[in-house]
Amino acid sequence: MSQILGKKALITGGASGIGKLMGRLLLQKGLDTLVIWDLNEALMLSTEEELKAEGFKVRSYKVNVMDTQSVISTARLVNEEIGMIDILINNAGIIVGKYFLDHTHEDIDRTMGINSSALMHITSEFLPAMVASKTGHIVNIASAAGLVSNPKMSVYVASKFSVVGWSDSLLLEMKIAQTNVQVTTVTPFYISTGMFDGVKSSIVPIVKPEVAVRKIIKGLENNRRYVRMPGIVNWVPLFKGILPAFLFDIIVGQWLGMYRSMDDFKGR
């Protein structure tokens, strides 16, 4: 049975970047209705119009995902107006690209709120209906920064490590309770959407948004537990586990140049 055909999906941060591309690809693959949540109202409405002009059913709601009251009330509105959400893609995220010492308390709260806590609050609104109907799929967009530490993104790294741990634990709970609800944890390397403008990577290739999105949606269709990209990211947990820390730092930090990748970060 198709994981997408005739289903309803909600994508947070669906107004731009990979969120927008995932929405379009799901619709092209036969999704019934796409629901977009985003903070950027102008961008969200133009994405909605663009997709509607292509003949698709799209609804958008302005939500700041770190505002839990707004998440709760808008989730209830979606349930009333759209019906049960079959596919939830927790995708909205931000990066504060600076050294930890330069982070304000607000930077820390925003990063953890949007990139980490929000995913749990949003999921807890939509999961009960999925469990009750023994169907549904939660896709959590973390990052390769959820598997490996990196300078100039410490709080981002903290937020993404937390997503990886929570998402995979949720999957275990869904399996043990035999709910049939699927959970996919996505950990991509840098993707050229603009979010990480200025980063450089000489050896590991920066992923093209279209390629990233194709892999994520394929992972969804195949009920994959993890979607990591590019391929080398699959080896990170093994290398981290078997190499002494100093050797890991030399190979990943120096040889692959990862620890200097954020030196010229500009972002959006």
Point out which residues bind ligand NAD (CB under 6 A): 12-13, 15-19, 37-40, 43, 63-66, 91-94, 114, 141, 143, 188, 190-191, 193-196, 268
Q: How far apart are CA 234 and CA 224, in angstroms?
A: 13
Residue closest to ligand NAD, measured at CB: 17
Letter for the amino acid at 263? D
* Nearest residue (CB) to ligand NAD, 142 versus 179: 142
Nearest distance, CB of residue 13 and ligand NAD, angstroms: 3
CB 8 within 8 A of CB 35: yes
- In the residue annotation, 190 being an active-site residue is answered as no
Sheet holding 87-90, edge to edge: 58-62, 33-38, 8-12, 87-90, 137-141, 182-188, 226-229
* Nearest residue (CB) to ligand NAD, 188 versus 219: 188
Nearest distance, CB of residue 17 and ligand NAD, angstroms: 2
Nearest distance, CB of residue 244 and ligand NAD, angstroms: 27
| Contacts with 49 (C-beta within 8 Å, 6 or more apart), sequence order | none
* Nearest residue (CB) to ligand NAD, 25 versus 141: 141
Nearest distance, CB of residue 267 and ligand NAD, angstroms: 9
Distance of CA 172 to the CA centre of its chain: 19
> Are β-strands 33-38 and 8-12 bridged in parallel, bridged antiparallel, or unpaired?
parallel
Helix, coil or strand: residue 36: strand
* Nearest residue (CB) to ligand NAD, 179 versus 219: 219
Catalytic position from the list 61, 156, 190, 226? 156
Nearest distance, CB of residue 185 and ligand NAD, angstroms: 12
Q: How far apart are CA 38 and CA 154, in angstroms?
A: 25
* Nearest residue (CB) to ligand NAD, 161 versus 179: 161
Distance of CA 97 to the CA centre of its chain: 18
Q: Return the active site residues.
A: 156
